[in-house]
Amino acid sequence: MLLLLAVCLVSGALTFKDFGISWDEPSSYQYGREALSAYAHPASEPTYSDSDGLLQYYGAAYLVTGAALNLSAQSLHLVNFILFLLGVAVFYLLLGRWVSTPSAFAVTLLLVSQPLLWGHAFINPKDIPFMAFFLVSLVAGFWMADKSEAVTGWKRILLPILPGFILGYATSTRIVAPLAGIIISLMVLYRLRWKALPFLGLYWLSCFVAVYVTWPFLWPDPFNRFFASLQTMTSFPWNGKILFDGIEYHASNLPWRYLPKLMMLQFTEPVLLLALAGMIVLVFRFRFHKELIFILLTWFALPFAWIVLARPTMYDNFRQFLFITPPIFISCALALDELLKRLTGSKIRFFLLFLAVLPGLVAGIRLHPYEYIYYNSLAGNISGRYETDYWATSFRDAANYINEHAPQNAVVSIGPWGLIQELLRPDLKIDRAEVSADSDYVVIFSRWNYEKNPAFTGRSVYTVERNGAVFLTIQRMP
């Protein structure tokens, strides 16, 4: 496991500069800097500068930590990735509660080889950190629950404080983190009955203190602002359109199959087969996995059912719900554990593991640095059917091309505006219009059919694409 983490860390260190800046990163990091400034002047609330006024409703903990490091957005890609590896390591420890060490390692390798997760690990400063903190909160909570029956006196008073702070930090990253605390609290209540109440009171008090300390937006009116944030996050006012099954849907009116189908298409085929097999194992061996069944129901099944039935606003595929995907791999671990009990030869085990991780490794290499747009073979031709580079990381490739080929003082227009201005040579002039008579080059992002604008009449000179789907085109204007 240590070797796996070391190999991943070296791979990340060698490639993190390949990834473009994702659409949400500049505003997120700016929000982190603004929230950090509140610690220097706690009496005056920062002026949050995002255009739609919604970022303040996001928890600030991880973004404040990133701002305190005072690194560039590109360097923070490596920090994001290191945090992902922390989540991977913690997931391995979590699997050890239910399956053998070989099975835990095999499924951890399967998880880390998923192109979807690997790609997000660099460019996603919101959902990947939260997934990692959610996992850490669970592992710390399980440790607390396991110790709660044995410790007494002042040790019982101290025991819940650190897990509570960890849960609070996770909550101040994404407001849904208390779900992990609910799972842990129910386990402790089951074990200690009424004796758990003061113990859990300290746990949640520590959580609330950590939330308050790490989220400056709450300081003027903690309770009202917390519930305002909760309301905003559960009915997020995003008015864009989503491409799904070749049809553009409004983000608040997606079909019920949106999440189930995307989960089926964005993980590799071995994950789908093993997860299904693991569910069968769980049915036949439910007497041995009562704790795990409760956890999987609370962590995955209930949120999944709510999303399918309530159909909340969703966009950018299902990145906001990456935190509920580890249970899929726990199901894979159950299947592999049963299989490895019957296949004891090291060669056959190695071959099986090789087959399981090969699709993800091959696809990741082929898609790099756009691993996060991965779809498996069940999706077929994804061009014009599913979202691909929805975070516009391809602007980095566009900037590299223009910097290399554009003459001095050339005029560059962008449709739509964003994510490229800081990457271009300083002599180049940027026209904020999508196209004008003075343009020498036009950079056309393909999402939302920008490429169909009749004003874009130049000659295509450069295209960024993967798997037949065009992310971005550069036109040389006449």
264 and 345 in a common domain: yes
435 and 302 in a common domain: no
What is the C-alpha separation between 264 and 272, in angstroms, rounded? 7
CB 445 within 8 A of CB 465: no
412 and 355 in a common domain: no
Q: Evaluate whether residue 385 is within a structural domain.
A: no
Percent of the chain with pLDDT over 90: 71
The phi, psi pair for 413, rounded to 5°, reads: -110, 150
212 and 355 in a common domain: yes
What is the C-alpha separation between 409 and 239, in angstroms, rounded? 37
In three-state secondary structure terms, 93 is helix
Confidence class for position 152, pLDDT limits 50, 70, 90:
confident
What is the C-alpha separation between 166 and 185, in angstroms, rounded? 14
CB 249 within 8 A of CB 242: yes
266 and 181 in a common domain: yes
Residues 6+ apart with CB under 8 A from 473: 443, 444, 446, 451, 460, 462, 463, 464
The last residue of one of the domains, among 329, 348, 367, is: 367
304 and 405 in a common domain: no
The last residue of one of the domains, among 330, 352, 367, is: 367
What is the C-alpha separation between 160 and 428, in angstroms, rounded? 57
> What total number of domains does the chain contain?
2
What is the C-alpha separation between 342 and 319, in angstroms, rounded? 36
Which one is predicted more confidently, 279 or 49? 279
Q: Residue 451: is its pLDDT beyond 70?
A: no
Q: Residue 358: is its pLDDT beyond 80?
A: yes
Q: Evaluate whether residue 373 is within a structural domain.
A: no
Tokens of 52: 């739609």
Tokens of 393: 């990381």
Confidence class for position 416, pLDDT limits 50, 70, 90:
low
Q: Evaluate whether residue 372 is within a structural domain.
A: no
- What is the Cα Rg of the chain in Å? 24
Relative orientation angle of helices 196-214 and 127-148, to the nearest 10 degrees = 150
Q: Evaluate whether residue 384 is within a structural domain.
A: no
Confidence class for position 431, pLDDT limits 50, 70, 90:
confident
Confidence class for position 106, pLDDT limits 50, 70, 90:
very high
Percent of the chain with pLDDT over 70: 96
Q: Evaluate whether residue 434 is within a structural domain.
A: yes
Q: What pLDDT sits at residue 147? A: 87
Tokens of 302: 């209930």
88 and 170 in a common domain: yes
Q: What pLDDT sits at residue 436? A: 67
Q: What is the mean pLDDT of the chain?
A: 91
Listed residue (161, 80, 92, 194) closest to 128, CA to CA: 80
Q: Residue 256: is its pLDDT beyond 80?
A: yes
Q: What pLDDT sits at residue 289? A: 86
For residue 250, what are the β-bridge partners? 241
Which one is predicted more confidently, 362 or 436? 362
Q: Evaluate whether residue 386 is within a structural domain.
A: no
- This prediction has a pTM of 0.94
462 and 401 in a common domain: yes
Q: Evaluate whether residue 275 is within a structural domain.
A: yes
Q: Residue 387: is its pLDDT beyond 80?
A: yes
421 and 313 in a common domain: no
**H-state helical runs in 149-241:** 154-158, 161-171, 178-192, 196-214, 222-234
Q: Evaluate whether residue 375 is within a structural domain.
A: no
399 and 355 in a common domain: no
Q: What is the largest CA-CA distance in the chain?
A: 80
CB 200 within 8 A of CB 188: yes
401 and 327 in a common domain: no
343 and 239 in a common domain: yes
Give the other-Cβ count within 10 Å of 336's Cβ.
29
Residue 105: which domain range? Answer: 2-367
**H-state helical runs in 343-453:** 346-367, 395-405
For residue 469, what are the β-bridge partners? 466
Q: What is the pLDDT of residues 7-55, one digit of tens each?
A: 999 999 999 999 999 988 988 999 999 999 999 998 888 888 775 678 8
Please write down the long-range contacts of 141-149, taking CB distance under 8 Å and 24 or more positions apart.
Answer: 141/167, 141/180, 141/181, 141/183, 141/184, 141/187, 142/94, 142/97, 142/184, 142/187, 144/184, 144/188, 144/203, 145/184, 145/187, 145/188, 145/191, 148/188, 148/191, 148/192, 148/196, 148/199, 149/191, 149/192
CB 442 within 8 A of CB 415: yes
What is the C-alpha separation between 311 and 175, in angstroms, rounded? 19
Q: Residue 420: is its pLDDT beyond 70?
A: yes
CA–chain centroid gap for 305, Å, is 20
